[in-house]
Amino acid sequence: MRIVHDRRQVAALCREWRRRDSQLLAFVPTMGNLHAGHLALVRHARERGDRVLVSVFVNPMQFDRPDDLERYPRTLDADARKLAEAGVDALFCPEPTEMYPEGCVPARVTVPQLSGILEGVSRPGHFDGVATVVAKLFNLVQPDVGVFGEKDYQQLKLIEAMVAALNFPVLIDAVPTVREADGLALSSRNGQLSESARRRAPELYRSLREAAAACVAEPDRWPAVFAECTAQARERLRESGFEPDYVEVRRCSDLGEPDAGDRELILLAAAWLGGTRLIDNLRL
């Protein structure tokens, strides 16, 4: 596996791959601290492309709090070993000065209809950072396929909307959430949980399952029943020691507020447990 730090070198490498027998390139952008969920993305990329490139870049632009950026785990050596064992062709791991050589960002990408709701309310500016860095990476790599996880569902829909709006010639593939045996969605932030918090953490997914079952049991009352079910989920989370940011039912397609005729719906939640913020989702 090649390890590349320079943006010009990674662009040249990807151009060479494309010239060589028109090889398809699958790309997996990450922030590192890789776990089984990331490796599921890599396996999917291996199935979709002749070449697989993974990036590891802790993007400062998408952090709304400096302390969160400082705490984010950085495990590049271990990540590189996992990716090499998974058969990745190249790892791109730039420094912030390589991705943002101007220092401050002179231009940014915004997807207004998805940036200011749900996660965007709790983390102002976060999705501008996500859209901007993914656009920069797509311009450098020019992949045929970009692979993202459904655990960060709002991020997934934002990337899909950006690609469509800006005519990026890349197909976005979504991979289902990978969970622990007790239901907790895998996340790089799970390692920040204390032992007692880790024992309580699966309650987030259990609360979503309970709310989903209550919603599905009364389809004739959609969408009025959603407010009741999500309120009960928030209360259950508080009783379990969480501080919920939101529990919402939205349309799968665009995360808009559901109407009576909508049937492709998803429950999304975010909650603090101790000093760690967890997110999850579940389709109805």
Q: Tell me whether residue 170 is annotated as binding.
A: no
CB neighbourhood size of 265 (10 A): 19
Helices then strands, counting H and E runs in the chain, come out as: 12, 9
Kindly list the distances between the CA atom of residue 205 and the CA atoms of 28, 29, 237, in Å, as whole numbers in the listed order. 26, 25, 10
- β-pairing, 243-251 vs 2-4, is unpaired
Residue 207 in contact with residue 183, Cβ under 8 Å?
A: no
Q: Tell me whether residue 32 is annotated as binding.
A: yes
Q: Tell me whether residue 33 is annotated as binding.
A: yes
Nearest to 3 by CA among 59, 75, 56: 56
Q: Tell me whether residue 24 is annotated as binding.
A: no
Residue 96 in contact with residue 60, Cβ under 8 Å?
A: yes
Q: Tell me whether residue 35 is annotated as binding.
A: yes
Which residues have C-beta within 8 Å of that of residue 65, sequence separation ≥ 6?
Answer: none
Q: Tell me whether residue 189 is annotated as binding.
A: yes
User: Edge-to-edge, what's the strand order for the sheet holding 265-273?
Assistant: 243-251, 265-273, 276-283
Q: Tell me whether residue 150 is annotated as binding.
A: yes
Q: Tell me whether residue 188 is annotated as binding.
A: yes
Active-site residue, 44 included: no
Backbone angles phi, psi at 181, to 5 degrees: -60, -30
Q: Tell me whether residue 136 is annotated as binding.
A: no
Residue 251: strand pairing partners: 265
User: Edge-to-edge, what's the strand order for the sheet holding 145-149?
Assistant: 2-4, 90-92, 51-56, 25-30, 145-149, 171-175
From the candidates 5, 38, 44, 126, which is the catalytic residue?
38
Backbone angles phi, psi at 115, to 5 degrees: -85, -20
- β-pairing, 265-273 vs 145-149, is unpaired
Q: Tell me whether residue 149 is annotated as binding.
A: yes
Q: Tell me whether residue 36 is annotated as binding.
A: yes
CA within 13 Å, CB half, 272 = 6
Q: Tell me whether residue 152 is annotated as binding.
A: yes
Residues marked active site are found at 38
Q: Which residues define the annotated binding site?
A: 31-38, 62, 149-152, 155, 178, 186-189
Annotated binding site for ATP: 31-38, 149-152, 178, 186-189
Residues annotated in a binding site for beta-alanine: 62
Please state the residue numbers annotated as binding site for (R)-pantoate. 62, 155
